[in-house]
Chain A
Amino acid sequence: MNSSQEHSAFYEHFDRHAHGKGLKGASTHYCPGCGHGLAHKFLSDAIATLGIQDRTVAVSPVGCSVFLYYYFDVGNTQAAHGRAPAVALGHKLANPDSIVVSYQGDGDLASIGLAEIMHAAQLGVPITVIFVNNAIYGMTGGQMAPTTLPGQWSTTCPNGRGVMEGAPLKVAELIAGLDGPIYVERVALFDQRRRKQAHKAIEKAMRLQVEGRGFAFVEVLSECPTHLKMTPEDAELWVKDTMTQTFPLGVLKDVEREPWFEGPRPKFDAPQMMKLVGAVSVDDPMPRFGGEFPVHLDPEDVSLKLAGAGGDGAQTAAMLITRAAIREGHDATHIPSYGPESRGGTSYADVHVARTEVLSPGAPTPHVLVAFNAPSLTKFGPTVRKGGVIIYDSSVINDVPPVREGVRAFGVPCAAIARELGVPLVKNVVALGAVCAASRLLPDEAVLTALRHALKDKCALIASNEAAFAAGRAAVEAAG
């Protein structure tokens, strides 16, 4: 150990670099004169200065700096091309005390990874992004980058970047235009003054994270002598004289923000979990009402279909039946029609109540049909089994199509009754009362208990719901 390492986050020996043999144990894999090494040194210095080496996680990209993890004696994750900011966010939320750096090149960040960087920046969670822009693809061998300058040669714009190849993407400006980030600066490496500034900017971008203030972004204009086909010195001059014309240096955004980030720090508490998922301890059981399995409908498995328009409450009624049946010790399932077709106005629910186990959860030939509108009755009326029951809302259905022999149909003015009660929404509960009366599927109290449980946070509604249920039952009984 010597003083270089005391003030550095670099490994003393680069073991991971081709197993650390020979030169590879001590020098980088970068070409002579490449700017990456300097950006690495400034980052290493910042980590050492801030005393965060144990907490730092460096996310390396795909590109020339894919081997960042050879050098940094911190936690390291190598990410897929362009995804480093998304990976960094995963790390930061996993451990809010970690200091996470996403180190990316121009192809990685500005081309394939645009969506990820924009989202991470806009989210504003404190991570630090170091964006090394050298206006060309290095690793793959000199292809056009999103930041390649107009007229600049590359292997995929051999005549120079022209109009058909688009204009260079000014990423720092783009990021600075978002509300999420608090600090965005573009720096360069071509002379001592700029290097000092780059050093300072990287340290600041890390410090803002350490202090929990926000998302910080440093764009580093860097030299790729190899693919610019220049000497390192000429490459420095090119960045200075040409590249900065398109990518002006300076601070693009620097807003004061008080430390705010605390991050998720999960709790693991059994009573809280039980409460959250609505679990009731068996020491405090819900009452049962001794409902036998309704063998008069089917020896093993009774199926119901509740159908109407969205807003008719078919799904809620189906859920209440399912809950009540399970409380009574039967097996039960509910499956809704779901997705766009259910947005279009129709809403069907298939329910099964089985003595031991529901097998086929669909209800193509139900024992009980509840139809809240005419199309539903027309469509499903003929599918009801012999010995089955149909409840239809006679306040909206005028013409009742003929039903199969042995099927009993009850017209119950669900909507009208609900309106009279002053709560139009409870028409599905009217239907539930009618189902219980006509089919004897479940004891009234079982359904009412499930109903009261569902309304435990809206107690004011319990009375009208109970009245609706009773009115539904009464309507069927009156019909005989």
Chain B
Amino acid sequence: MTTVKERTKPVLLPELCKGCGRCIEACPKHCITLGEEINQTSGLVPVVIDYDVCNGCGLCISACPEPYGLTADGYELEDPAKLFGAAPHHGRTPAAIPGRAIPLPKSEPLVLKGNYAAAVGALLAGCRHVFGYPITPSTEGAELMASFLPQLDGAFVQAVSEVATVNHMYGCGGAGLPVMTFTSSPGLSLMLEGISYMIGAEVPAVFINVMRGGPGLGNIGPSQADIKLLCRGLGHGDTNAIVLAPSTPQEMLDLTIEAFRLAFLYRNPVFVAPDGYLGQMTGRVQLPDHMLVPGIPGWAVYGDAAHRGNLINSIHLSEADLEKHNEKLQAKLARITANEQRSHTHRADDAKILVVAASTPARMAKSAIEHLRQEGVSVGLFMPVTLWPFPIDALRPLMAHVEDILVVEASAGQLEDELRLAMSHADLGGARIHHLRRMGGMLPQEPEIRARVHEILEVTR
């Protein structure tokens, strides 16, 4: 004897039925019809099922696009208060898996090219996922990663473009892992969309942008002409990120490690922005005394039970929500501005003339200052390490004795604009601001800096 399994009849929740009628043509018994009454809750006209004719075949259920419109057993019918009341929380607390440090033995200094030093820094910071598109003068970083990462069972993927690169990073960083790329100016332009998404969705990532001459294809000579983009133009919306300006191969390594720490501390991308010279320059690099094993933060969309229910997202449909989100982001940026300003000075304590320069131009300036001091000129160097936030707090006390500022840079005044903006916000005035600018892949040279300081002395004497 065969038993006929009793089939339950479909339950239609009229509030959740959109009246589309897709179930109607699905029903072999023709027992569903378009309704006539507007549902007062939904404002739509739900269908009507004739349960006397219905045989419970369930075909209508599989034709209904609504998850809970038409179901085998109804949805929360017993508790309309829950359905239409305050939203319950799904009640999972995502778990963070902590990272850890592994000590490294003290080692002899390495001799590394800047791009390699940054790559080694990333590896020591626990980064095992690198995405990139080849672009001079940053390519050695990607090449080193392509050779090392398979040996460390990590992943290097050569993306189809910088657009794809930044989105691979968005996924990997959103999964909570340290991720980075090497790029150069035209590549950065292409990545800006994704960077804006990262900032909006609070995804950490590290970008090494080895700056070259522009605009357009420009050339591959050293430049600082992305300062404007990095400090003021990281894609659409109110976006900012920490921008670090190394000046030695050692700092290429140290600041890359630091960039990862800051990226995760603030859940924001961080940029290391050497001029092309620093990417290509080989020098002495001392390894730190430990390397890091990354954990997985609680917020990550890692794809495991501990992180299920997390969301990486930058869309906030209601204006009020999006404004609130922006306020939160701005509060974070204010914290960064208060806590993360970094700079070096050299013979600036009593200087009347202060040279402001970053990266390779700062090295040139330091050399010029040594010579000028021997001539008895009261000149010193102020070297922002964070281009954003501009280290205005360290500049402030110097302004008590500085009469002239000379901004030396490899761009048409982008660093100077940052300085002027920061001084204006800080109400710091008084000093005359002069400049020495080179463009198009040229760096200001030491003799030029000396000559410019002499000019300033002459005019002001």
Interface residues of A (CB under 8 A from B): 2-4, 8, 10-13, 15-16, 18-23, 25-28, 30-38, 40-41, 44, 53-57, 59, 66, 69, 71, 73-80, 83, 86-95, 97-100, 115-116, 118-119, 123, 191-192, 195-196, 199, 225, 231-233, 236, 263-270, 272-274, 276-283, 285-286, 319, 322-323, 326-327, 331-336, 338-340, 358-362, 364
Contacts and interface: CB of A to CB of B under 8 A. Distances in A.
Nearest to B89: A15
A31 to B, nearest CB: 8
B152 A75 contact: no
Interface in B66-105: 66-69, 71-76, 82-84, 86-90, 102-105
A233 B445 contact: no
Interface string B414-447: 0000000000000000000000000000010110
A199 B59 CA distance: 13
B364 interface: yes
Contacts of A338: 136-137, 220, 276, 280
Which 3 pairs show the lowest CB-CB distances between chains A and B? A90-B171, A98-B303, A37-B65
Given A279-B287, A331-B284, A76 B311 contact: yes
Find the residue from A69, A71, A75 having the highest chain B CB count within 10 A: A75
Contact of B102 (A55, A268, A276, A361): A268
B283 A333 contact: yes
Interface stretch (B122-130, B224-232, B453-461): B122-130
B282 A333 contact: yes
B304 A32 contact: no
B330 interface: no
6 contacts: A16-B311, A25-B84, A80-B194, A97-B304, A236-B25, A268-B126
A14 B366 CA distance: 61
A18 B87 CA distance: 10
Given A35-B65, A93-B157, A232-B22, A86 B171 contact: yes
Find the residue from A97, A233, A286, A360 having the highest chain B CB count within 10 A: A360
B164 interface: yes
B281 A28 contact: no
Contact of B305 (A2, A54, A268): A54
Given A26-B83, A333-B281, A90 B120 contact: no
Contact of B171 (A74, A89, A263, A269): A89
B360 A266 contact: no
Given A98-B304, A338-B280, A277 B171 contact: no
Interface in B103-123: 103-111, 120, 123
A192 B65 contact: no
A87 B170 contact: yes
Contacts of A32: 18-20, 44
A22 B18 contact: no
Nearest to B112: A277
Interface string B154-181: 1101011101100111111111110100
Interface in B128-144: 128-129, 131, 136-137
B366 A270 contact: no
A91 B164 contact: no
Interface string B43-55: 0100000000000
A13 B80 CA distance: 12
A465 to B, nearest CB: 18
B317 A18 contact: yes
Q: How large is the interface on B (under 10, 10 to 19, 20 to 34, 35 or more residues)?
A: 35 or more
A335 B281 contact: yes
A280 B120 CA distance: 15
B206 interface: no
Contact of B41 (A22, A336, A364): A22
Contact of B123 (A263, A273, A285, A286): A273
Contact of B280 (A78, A285, A335): A335
B363 A91 contact: no
A237 to B, nearest CB: 9
A232 B19 CA distance: 10
A77 B283 contact: no
B257 interface: no
Given A76-B313, A90-B169, A266 B305 contact: no
Given A18-B317, A26-B75, A267-B152, A274 B107 contact: yes
Given A279-B287, A282-B106, A359-B364, A267 B153 contact: yes
A93 B302 CA distance: 10
A100 B67 contact: no
Given A35-B65, A87-B174, A19 B87 contact: yes
B87 A21 contact: yes
Contacts of A44: 67
B311 A98 contact: no
B273 interface: no
B445 A364 contact: yes
A76 B72 contact: no
A86 B164 contact: yes
Find the residue from B22, B42, B105, B281 having the highest chain A CB count within 10 A: B22
A236 B20 CA distance: 11
A285 B41 CA distance: 80
B301 interface: yes
Contacts of B62: 41, 192, 195-196, 199
Given A66-B315, A78-B312, A79-B167, 12 more contacts: A57-B301, A69-B313, A75-B301, A76-B311, A80-B197, A86-B159, A91-B175, A95-B303, A99-B303, A267-B153, A270-B105, A326-B284
B428 to A, nearest CB: 28
B267 interface: no
Contact of B67 (A8, A31, A195): A8
B301 A77 contact: yes
Nearest to A10: B67
Contacts of A93: 129, 155, 157, 168, 172
Nearest to B65: A37
Contacts of A27: 15-16, 18, 42, 66-69
Interface in B338-389: 360, 363-364, 366-367, 370
B26 interface: yes
Contact of B315 (A12, A78, A91): A78
B180 to A, nearest CB: 12
Contact of A360 (B63, B154, B301, B364): B364
A1 B374 CA distance: 82
Contact of A319 (B64, B105, B111, B159): B111
Given A93-B172, A278-B110, A33 B20 contact: yes
A272 B164 CA distance: 31
